[in-house]
Amino acid sequence: MSDIRTIYVGRKPVHVYVAAVLHAMLAGDREVELVARGNAIRTAIDTAEICRRRNGHIAGMLPAEMNNKGVEIGTEKVEMEDTTRIMSFIKIQLEGVGDFPSEEE
């Protein structure tokens, strides 16, 4: 079994990360993990929900069923230039089950 593909979520628009999930699934990784810290947590949650509901043109090309396999939340110390900050993080695991939709749909 291969490692889970990790997608780091940052400041880009949500559809960029939905497309990253789709590309990972098309490449054969049926399990992906979205990882975000701080303000990007909202974007990670939005990405997971759009993928899970297969909402929109890009997400509509995902496998027939998208399952949330688990969510982990916590805090971690992050070294900055001259200080250490404590930041919240979230890790969301998604699994694609079933076939990809055909092009006729």
Q: What is the mean pLDDT of the chain?
A: 91
pLDDT per position as a tens digit, 21-62: 999 999 999 999 999 999 999 999 999 999 999 888 898 899
The CATH number of whichever domain residue 36 belongs to comes to: 3.30.110.20
Distance of alpha carbon 94 from alpha carbon 34, whole angstroms: 8
Classify residue 27: in a domain, yes or no: yes
Q: How many domains does the chain have?
A: 1
Q: Note down the domain range covering 33.
A: 5-97
The tokens describing 67, both together, are: 């399952």
Classify residue 90: in a domain, yes or no: yes
Q: Distance from first CA to last CA of the chain, Å, rounded?
A: 32
Distance of alpha carbon 59 from alpha carbon 85, whole angstroms: 35
Classify residue 78: in a domain, yes or no: yes
